[in-house]
């Protein structure tokens, strides 16, 4: 009977951008979904209904701030099995480190890094039941090379990369894969603060001569979650050859 149970994926930060595209990709692949966001609840619920109608799957929307452990516990409260966890929720902060408040620092690290610990802590026991599963953490090229004026964001994503590699080693004997997808310049609302001039300057640095799309990243996440079991502990860069 176990094989007749439809696979389930949990995706955080699913109301827009990469998270939304990833939800659509997993829905197309026949997964039931648990989708989370902190603010755009009505938007995500409407999107969930669209996915259920289009793909004949079950979508559960659970609001909450994944930077808070109590909210993550509510996210997992009704889960009895989980095949894929995609840690996509993230926030950025643009500005000088010397002008950044401790509260803003804590907010960035909480949303981008603590959330990976909270969700993984609760997902792993569910995956251990079947001796398989996949955790995919959405990271950034700034976690590899750092970005001026984005110290907290860069630090959080660098930590996500290290978290990924360490947890992969811990879970490999149990058949659970842990990988990260480090994104370059992707056409999402997170980059909406950039002016047309800034975007053009960045585009000129990218060998692919354009921004990436959320759908391209979603496809890499899908492929990573379904890669052969020997692929684990990797930070896969999707940046058009930029970094």
Active site positions, annotated: 153
Q: Do 139 and 181 form a contact (C-beta atoms < 8 A)?
A: yes
- Cα(193)–Cα(191) distance, integer angstroms: 5
**Phi and psi torsions of 179, nearest 5°:** -140, 165
- Cα(15)–Cα(187) distance, integer angstroms: 15
Q: Do 138 and 180 form a contact (C-beta atoms < 8 A)?
A: yes
């Amino acid at each position: 009977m176990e094989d007749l149970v439809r696979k389930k994926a949990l995706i955080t930060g699913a109301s827009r951008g990469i998270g939304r595209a990833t939800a659509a990709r997993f829905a197309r692949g026949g997964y039931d979904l648990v989708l989370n966001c902190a603010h755009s609840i009505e938007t995500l619920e409407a999107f969930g209904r669209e996915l259920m109608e289009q793909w004949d799957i079950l979508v559960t929307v659970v609001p909450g701030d994944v930077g808070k452990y109590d909210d993550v516990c509510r996210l997992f409260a009704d889960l009895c099995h989980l095949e894929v966890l995609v840690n996509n929720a993230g926030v950025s902060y643009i500005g000088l480190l010397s002008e950044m408040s401790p509260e803003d620092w804590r907010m960035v690290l909480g949303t981008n890094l603590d959330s990976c610990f909270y969700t993984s802590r609760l997902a792993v026991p569910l995956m251990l039941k079947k001796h398989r599963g996949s955790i995919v953490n959405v990271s950034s090229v700034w976690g590899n090379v750092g970005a001026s004026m984005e110290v907290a964001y860069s630090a959080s994503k660098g930590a996500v990369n290290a978290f990924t590699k360490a947890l992969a080693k811990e879970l490999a004997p149990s058949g659970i894969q842990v990988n990260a997808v480090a994104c370059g310049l992707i056409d999402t609302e997170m980059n909406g603060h950039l002016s047309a001039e800034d975007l053009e300057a960045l585009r000129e640095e990218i060998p692919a001569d354009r921004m990436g799309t959320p759908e391209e990243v979603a496809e890499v996440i899908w492929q990573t979650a379904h890669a052969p079991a020997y692929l684990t502990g990797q930070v896969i860069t999707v940046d058009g050859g930029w970094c």
